[in-house]
Structure 1
Amino acid sequence: MPDAELTSALEAIRTGAYVVDEQGRILAVNSCAENMLGRAAGDLIGHDAHDLLHRGPQGQPLPATRCSMRQAFHAGLPAQGSDVHFVRADGSLVRISWVLTPYALHDGGAGTLVVFHDERTPSGEQRPGQGTEPLGELERLALLAETTTRLTSTLDVDEALRRLVSLVVPRLADWAVIDLITERDEVWRTAVVHAEGDTLVHREDLQGPMPPVPEQSPMPLSRALRGVASALAGPETYRRDPDSGIAVEQRRLFDATGIHSAAITPIRSTREVLGALTLGRAEKPGDFTVADLPLLEDIARRAGLALDNARLYQRQRKVAETMQNHLLPQMPQVPELQMTVRYLPAPDASQVGGDWYDAFALSDGATALVIGDVVGHDLEAAAGMAQLRNMLRAYAWGHQEPPSRIVERLDEAVMPITDVAMATVILARIARTGDGRWQLSWSNAGHPPPLLVTHDGLTHYLTDGHGLLLGTGVRTPRRDATIVLPPDCTLLLYTDGLIEAPGRTLDDGLEALRQHAAALAHRPLQSFTDQLLARVQPPGHDDVALLAVRTPPRGSVAPAQCR
């Protein structure tokens, strides 16, 4: 099936264009290419571009070893050429000029963008959607297409800025400067980057806070930061007496970098001015001209849309994380027990979720420990999580009953009282025994089993006391399990985001958790928790809630079945 997002991006290119995957198969094609080749998209998608299109001057099949486009494709570097023949659906040949460049696919894969122009078009004749631009225009269109796909495929502001810099340096300039306007209307020189060969070097000494934007200054950067216009600049532009603090900083920039020619343009979103992009040439020969500004403005316009989307996404994430953190409780102080918690939202989710942890004192002096997960990753899941947490607290406090009976009460109430479809939960109670040790009793409703880790690195998954998840409507007796915890051990309660990831089995995830927990057993509890998350957590597939409890180092009673 054609990729709708890719196809939409290619339609902005006013000449023939298609994208191939790492094997050279066509993934998407625009309508200009369809018209030039006399082939519908369905006859192109999925085919090897070389085998289908590339021919010799007399229409004969062209070996890949003699095809300049194919060789450039395998090199994986930007390239251009001419006098290549494509075969149309009717068997006629089209002699083309072409530009080829790596193209980042939205799913993270690597592709290649091919932009081509029919060299045989008679003077003055135009095909639908194509102008009579020279080869330089093809390069411009290829750069804009690459800019669009690379910047829109990330929702991280810093990553978008890194990609923007790598697109323009050293291709258009040897210096790139990005000034952004913060949410408090302050200006921050976010990036000053210089190309030294193939390496991009950040000049952090030139980055940092900038003076405020003057309201009337005619200087190029000040006008760009007000969204007025693009402009050219050079060292002489800022030799005159400065009219603002920004002009002083610009003089310092030109003096420090040796830039002899610069082009400056606003970075705008659909709603506001976000900053300014400056491209500078120091070692690179030639000066920017007015003819260069439209390309720079096109790049900055695409950058503005991408940055605005990334900022909105991060703002939503911040609100969501704040909501989630307020929903999650503070941990009680239990004498002699250490306790720590962590909550990590999935990086690819912009909403709160249903994972939660809890710990609270019970009416008989014991301490309740809870870990749970409401199905879903949205506000409804978060609301359901809050309902279940509060109900569980009330049942556990008001009824001095085993955990299994409290979980039964909660399950009975889920369907008639809450909006929760399904959820998993572990309710445990930890209390001191008469001989000074710590005893854990628990009941598990469909949740991943707790992990017990001794100070010496022995591990044991607590698989007893397991039953159905909440919300199934099936009423079966739930079971309790009890264990006396060894001294200086760590009990780990966690949600499935810690062990599940596409491409690996649940057993693989549990084994990885066990191995890393054993290796970290000697660490202080805070360090144990942080390092465990850093080593084990799958990259961004699900939320993770984690509750870790450590008993005091007394005695030496080893648990059964540890290994």
Structure 2
Amino acid sequence: MSEDSAGRSVVPIPALADPERLRSLAETRLGAAADEAFDRFARLVGDLLDVPVALVSLVTADRQFFPGATGLPEPWAGRRETPLSHSFCQHVVDIEVPMVLPDARLYPRVRRNLAIENLGVVAYAGMPLTDLDGRVLGSLCAVDSKPRAWTAEQLRTLADLAAACSSELRLRIAVAGAEQARRRAEEAHDRLAMLAGLSELLGGTLDMSTALDRLGRAMVPLLADWCLITLVDPAGRPRTVSGLHRDPDRAADLDRFTELLTTGLGPDSIIRSVLRSGRPVMRGTAALADVERGTTRPELAPLADRLGFGSHLSVPITAAADRIVGAVTLVNGPSRRGFDESDIRTALDIGRRAGQAVGNSRLYGEQRHVAEVLQQSMLPTLPVVPGIELAARYLPAADRVEVGGDWYDAFVQPDGELIAAIGDVAGHDIEAAATMGQLRNLVRGDAYGRDDPVDELMTHLDRAIQGLPVPTVASAVLARLRPAAPGFRLSWCNAGHPPPLLLPAGGPVQVLDGTRGPLLGLARPLPRTRRELALAPGDTLLLHTDGLIERRDQPIDEGQAALLEQLADAATLPLATLCDRLVAAAHRREDDVALLALRAR
């Protein structure tokens, strides 16, 4: 029981709230605005029945509106709708047959209706307006402000016009249905296309954050207004939550939502239920209570309200052996249709494909970690040398897990001189890394304790590679630094490697190219040459591999020029800062990067 605007009890009519009837009514796409076709029906009723007011009245659960009307007094003529407290037509919907009242004031059903007082409705004749399934959507009615005896001919005319008016409504519904069917067909096609390309899309990267971003963009807005992707740690606890919203202006709210959700999932949360059971959970019509029950963070419910929370669907992300590694949550706002069984099937398929990507990414991460640990274990600890500061960096290629053949080394001779080397063994696999280890050890064994010039040491290295044999082709630079007041005397030999760079304390960067000899490991070793120069206090020598300057999309000369530009103002930087700047600039690296920097004090 409810009350009308005058405080009188009103008994609700269940038929008005029938979901199928309301859906059919919505599909007419009519509202409280004039529609020429239905205005024409109202005028015909007014003319043929000689009544002052005629209406095409469609009734919702809480109001009636008039797409067709003639003769209504103001303000109702402008509004083209009334509350149910002013509606006779609601009773036509209820009884589903014509309602004919010569004098409404005499009938208990309507005699207290405010339409009598406010709209002057006394005589009323209303014929049902129906959809294809016979559901009554409203009434075509004739209204008079004084009692009248409706004739059989008038009622027959009104019934004929109502039948024609119903046909127009059915046509509108059919057109809307056809458009909806077309949209659903297009949506189904888009979903199939998305699913067909999803594995390739996710398989195109082994980076977890990139894969999650691609997954979100594939689902939003095609499947939902916004989404959440939750991943768990090995113990099954939520570890990370990411999301995407179709409205970029809601990005800050969603970022805050995912931040809180990472640690704010309560024991009764739907996501935890999906993670525990592996079964999907769907709410075709959702309330914020779903959020409030599932979280320990009160801020989440108002955030969900701002993001739009009308329906939601959560499914597990399953990896190999049906292991649950996370959950996907799709959310629609109130203005978008609720999720249904077809959405569950689509989302479960997405969860399986996403699980493969997550599993591959985690395996890749584990392999990459092992490779990096192995690579780092093969790199030396830099010595402490009086008068010389040293710094080095090694970065593996950004898009693979293999250990590589790039290496550097620095060690002190018994007489206190420093031997420095850098090189690159051909290949990017475990064999290249093993060969790199052999070559580095050969350099140490060949040079340690010997006072030979660096070119002769490089020649000895050629002979060792040939004689042992070590199956490799490699580039390298071997350098010796001898104290020579006030700084050091530098001599170096280059075997097919990018030239060293000199950053003088008070001058421009110099490329120490000179004579670049053949690679190490060739069948016929050629004579080696060396060069020398003085290294003054504050001067910096930089040895690096080609990963620092090579790119697929540009000539190596451009990479060399870009490196020199980065070094133009770097001579006074702390050595560690200089190295960090260079590796940061190599963020798009396609090869391993090794660099060794030495500065005379």
Scaled by the length of structure 1, the TM-score of the pair is: 0.68
Which amino acid letter does the alignment assign opposite residue 540 of structure 2?
Answer: T
Of 530, 541, 545, which aligns to 1:491? 541
Residue 541 of structure 1 aligns with which residue?
Answer: 590
Q: CA deviation at 1:515?
A: 2.2
Tell me what 1:474 maps to: 524
Residue 100 of structure 1 corresponds to which residue in structure 2? none
Instruction: Pick from 219, 222, 226 the counterpart of residue 171 of structure 1.
Output: 222
Corresponding residue of 2:303: 256
Query: Does residue 395 of structure 1 match 2:395?
Result: no
Matched, 1:324 2:382: no
Q: Does 1:155 align with 2:188?
A: no
The answer on 1:196 being equivalent to 2:247 is yes
Aligned counterparts of 2:328 and 2:473: Cα–Cα separation in 1: 50
Contiguous gaps of at least 5 residues in structure 2: 1-183
Counterpart residue type for residue 355 of structure 1: D
Quickly say closer, same or farther: Cα 1:282–1:395, change in 2 above 3 A. Answer: same
SS in 1 for 2:421: strand
Partner of 1:363: 414
Q: 1:315 & 1:165 partners in 2: Cα distance?
A: 24
Counterpart AA for 1:454:
P
Asked if the contact 1:381–1:420 (Cα under 8 Å) also holds between the matched residues in 2, the reply is no
Shift of 1:145: 2.7
Structure-2 residue corresponding to 1:268: 318
CA shift, 1:343, in A, is: 0.6
- Which amino acid is the alignment partner of residue 316 of structure 2? P
Deviations 1:390-424 (A, max 9, x none): 12112211322111222122111113425432011
Per-residue CA shift, 1:183-204, capped at 9, x if unaligned?
A: 4543124214433257744423
How far off its partner does 1:369 sit? 0.6
Q: CA deviation at 1:430?
A: 1.0
Following superposition of structure 1 onto structure 2, how do residues 324-473 of structure 1 map, counting pairs within 5 Å? 324-433=375-484, 435-464=485-514, 466-473=516-523
Deviation track 1:445-479 (CA, whole Å, cap 9, x = no partner) reads 11111011123341222123532211102132212
CA gap 1:504/1:191 in 2 versus in 1, 3 angstroms: closer
Uncovered stretches (5+) of structure 1, i.e. residues with no partner = 1-132, 553-563
Residue 577 of structure 2 aligns to a residue in which SS? helix
Inter-CA distance 251–229: structure 2 relative to 1 (3 Å threshold): farther
Give the deviation of 1:384 after TM superposition.
Answer: 0.5
User: What amino acid maps onto 1:282 in structure 2?
Assistant: G
Question: How has the CA–CA distance of structure 1 residues 266 and 278 changed in structure 2, closer, same or farther, with 3 Å as cutoff?
Answer: same
User: Which whole-Å CA distance do the structure 2 matches of 1:326 and 1:460 have between them?
Assistant: 33
Contact kept? 2:486, 2:537, Cα under 8 Å: no
The offset of 1:323, in angstroms, is: 0.7
**1:144 equivalent in structure 2:** 195
The alpha-carbon deviation at position 308 of structure 1 amounts to 1.6
Counterpart AA for 1:276: A
Q: In structure 2, how many angstroms separate the alpha carbons of the residues matched to 1:407 and 1:213?
A: 66
Q: 1:277 to 1:538 in 2, by over 3 A?
A: closer
| 2:387 partner amino acid | E
Letter in 2 for 1:544: V
Q: Report if aligned partners of 1:227, 1:268 keep a CA contact under 8 Å in 2.
A: no
Quick one: structure 1 residues 493 and 197, their matched pair in 2 at CA, closer, same or farther if it must change by over 3 Å? closer
Distance 1:399 1:411 in 2: 16
Structure 1: distance between partners of 2:517 and 2:248? 62
Q: Which amino acid aligns with 2:588?
A: P
Q: Which residue of the other structure, out of 328, 333, 341, is the alignment partner of 1:277?
A: 328
1:207 aligns with 2:259: yes
Q: SS in structure 2 opposite 1:398?
A: coil
State how 1:508-523 maps to structure 2 within 5 Å: 508-523=558-573
Q: CA separation of 1:213/1:328 partners in 2, compared to 1, >3 Å: closer, same or farther?
A: farther
Q: Which moved more, 1:411-420 or 1:273-282?
A: 411-420
Provide closer, same or farther for how the CA distance between residues 157 and 457 of structure 1 changes in structure 2, counting only shifts above 3 A. Answer: farther
- Partner AA of 1:269 in structure 2: A
Matched residue, 2:158: none
Corresponding residue of 1:87? none
Compare CA radii of gyration and give the structure with the larger one.
Answer: 2
Corresponding residue for 1:294?
Answer: 345
Distance 1:283 1:336 in 2: 72
Describe the shift of the 1:256–1:546 C-alpha distance in structure 2 as closer, same or farther (beyond 3 A).
same
The alignment partner of 2:295 has SS state of helix
Query: Quick one: which amino acid aligns to residue 386 of structure 1?
Result: G
- Write the distance in 2 (CA, Å) between the matches of 1:221 and 1:251: 17
Task: Show CA shifts across 1:96-122 (max 9, x none).
Answer: xxxxxxxxxxxxxxxxxxxxxxxxxxx
Deviation at 1:147, TM superposition (A): 2.7
**Contact 1:189–1:210 under 8 Å retained in 2:** no
1:550 aligns with 2:589: no
Deviation digits for residues 284-308 of structure 1 (CA, Å, limit 9, x no counterpart): 4332223321111122222221222
The one-letter code of the counterpart of 1:302 is: R
Q: 2:551 aligns with which of 501, 504, 515?
A: 501
Contact 1:490-1:549 at 8 Å conserved across structures: yes
Distance 2:451 2:335 in 1: 78
Task: Determine if contact 2:265/2:295 at 8 Å carries over to the other structure.
Answer: no
1:383, 1:287 → 2: CA distance? 59
- Residue 431 and residue 283 in structure 1: after superposition, are their counterparts in 2 closer, same or farther (change >3 A)? farther
Q: Distance in 1 between matches of 2:471 and 2:548?
A: 22
CA contact (8 A) 1:321 1:352 kept: yes
Question: 2:487 & 2:569 partners in 1: Cα distance?
Answer: 25
Corresponding residue number in structure 1 for 2:35:
none
Q: CA deviation at 1:144?
A: 1.5
Q: What RMSD in Å do the two structures reach over aligned CA positions?
A: 2.6
**For residue 539 of structure 1, what is the amino acid of its counterpart?**
R
- Aligned residue identity for 2:271: L
Q: Distance in 1 between matches of 2:258 and 2:349?
A: 26
Closer/same/farther in 2, CA of residues 430 and 183 from structure 1, 3 Å limit: farther
- Normalising by structure 2, what TM-score? 0.64
Match of 2:238 among 165, 187, 190: 187
Task: Return the alpha-carbon distance in structure 2 between the equivalents of residues 457 and 173 of structure 1.
Answer: 60
Preserved contact between residue 403 and residue 429 of structure 1 (Cα < 8 Å): yes
Q: What amino acid sits opposite 2:544 in the alignment?
A: Y
Counterpart for residue 126 of structure 2: none
Match of 1:226 in 2: 276
Provide closer, same or farther for how the CA distance between residues 463 and 193 of structure 1 changes in structure 2, counting only shifts above 3 A: closer
Q: How many residues align?
A: 410
Q: 1:387 to 1:531 in 2, by over 3 A?
A: same
- What is the rounded CA distance, in whole Å, between the counterparts of 1:419 and 1:211 in structure 2? 58
Superposition deviation, residue 230 in structure 1: 0.9
